[in-house]
Amino acid sequence: FSQETFLVLSTLTFTAVHGLDIPSMDVVMRGGDIVEEMDWADFPTFRNGTCTVRFPRDGNWATQNGFFTGGWDANQKSACQGDGPSKVKYHLQRDGNFVARCGYNVDYATRTGQGPPGDYFLGIDDVCILHLYKGLLDCDSIDIQEEIWTNIRLKPLQRGDRLGQGEQVRHAGTTMVMQSSDGNLVLYGPSVHDRAVWAANENW
């Protein structure tokens, strides 16, 4: 999966597909794509250079620039060494699950596998938020069925919702709840650079 491949991915704008509010976005990956670890200079950029998606050697899949704090980290406590013999691979599986692997070991996963293989894609919007959808989005075919994951939610959690590792809920730019990579649930001010005001594990 080369840098050249990233450069030809589509920039598409749609709203109200199957009743969903779909933001303007660039497609980062499609189901079945595998991206191997990269050096910093090779990380692909999207939204006219505003957003960078990092696929680093240390396994901490992340975004840079754009929204509030200027970035997001999936797994700050990654077990990947970054300089070890096993290469890190980032895989959007055909069942809708995104997985980062160090060799044969799963280091991070969105845990969004939907069962049988289907059509899925990962997009990034104007404020550098990632969205994982079930469906198709390209120049020839549009069939977006549902959003199954996002790294930053802008709406309150509802009963039955799940907040996974590294995911955040932000409310009107004033507070942020984050499930940290060590499993602790933490309440911040508008960004992770603010002091934590509450944590499920007070010894964190």
Q: How far is CA 149 from the centre of its chain?
A: 8
Average pLDDT on 145-149 reads: 90
Strands (E), 16-93: 25-30, 34-36, 45-46, 51-54, 62-64, 71-73, 88-92
Average pLDDT on 35-58 reads: 92
Cα–Cα distance measured from residue 168 to residue 152, given in angstroms and rounded to the nearest whole number: 5
- pLDDT at residue 35 is higher than 70: yes
- pLDDT at residue 16 is higher than 60: no
Sheet holding 198-199, edge to edge: 152-153, 168-171, 175-179, 185-188, 198-199
Q: What is the mean pLDDT of the chain?
A: 79
